[in-house]
Amino acid sequence: MKHVVVLTGAGISAESGLGTFRDKGGLWARYDPMTLATPEAFARDPALVQAFYDARRRNLLDAAPNAAHAALVRLDKELADRGGRLTLVTQNVDDLHERAGSRSVLHMHGELLKARCLACRAVSPWRADITPVDRCPVCGVGGLRPHVVWFGEMPLGMDAIEAALADADLFVAIGTSGSVYPAAGFVAAARRHGARTCELNLEPSDTAGLFEERHHGPATAVVPTWVEATLAG
Ligand code: OAD
């Protein structure tokens, strides 16, 4: 197996204590995303939107990567040792893949521990709450917003992701409900280009029927087991 493309979603970080979106009790089950995760919501009530992301950022700083994040680090290293490669694409704005040791992560929905300048658009590392008096570390002028992709905005890194999907031998989706595009369309794109496909999720996702192979259960159990089997096979 030469090129494995992995797409992760909120489910891989659930056992690290970070909430998912659409599960019972999930973020979008409790809050309306249109009031918190759109450019219009930010223009209308920036304090409300910043407070939501400030709380998620604090939660993230208290969390730690789990066995599923660690198993993907192992997969990356062992594929590289055998002349293959892993492209890791995540919809997650957390940094748990990086803290587990993943070297290169495509954050298509942005990163919670970065802030973007509203004036010059520079992206800077940011671990504190974002307040109205904060200024951009690059231009010194602008106010800041979280470096996350909101509904109605373009996901990041799509050219690199589409190129990886076109080249993939195996596409694996982990911990994602398959309900948000364009990520929900990656399995069909990978299949069109001839890749095998596999879903690892707590339960069958909205797009489960599109995957040839499926393993259901908590990520900390199914991901290490699947990595072990894939490297052995
Ligand atoms: P969702 O909340 O939509 O889906 C999470 C998936 O993870 C569900 O299918 C759960 O069954 C599964 N899951 C829950 N706990 C799990 C566990 N312990 N192990 C394995 N799987 C588990 O989250 P995403 O699919 O990531 O975008 O959501 C996609 C996007 O929608 C997010 O990136 C976010 C959101 O709106 C933006 O904010 C732009």
Active-site entry in 97, 107, 109, 147: 109
The pLDDT score that the predictor gives to residue 77 is 97
* Ligand 1 contact, 18 CB (< 6 A): no
CA 7 to chain centre: 7
Which pLDDT score is estimated for 233?
82
Query: Is 164's pLDDT higher than 90?
Result: yes
3-state helix, strand, coil in the chain (%, to 5): 40, 20, 40
Q: How far is the CA of 20 from the centre of ligand 1 (A)?
A: 5
Residue 215 annotated as catalytic = no
Nearest CA to ligand 1 atom 7: 11
* pLDDT higher than 80, residue 1: no
161 contact partners, CB below 8 Å, separation of at least 6: 87, 89, 106, 108, 186
Name the β-bridge partners of 7: 89, 173
Query: Could you tell me if the CB of 147 is within 6 A of ligand 1?
Result: no
- Minimum mean pLDDT range among 17-31, 86-100, 184-198: 17-31
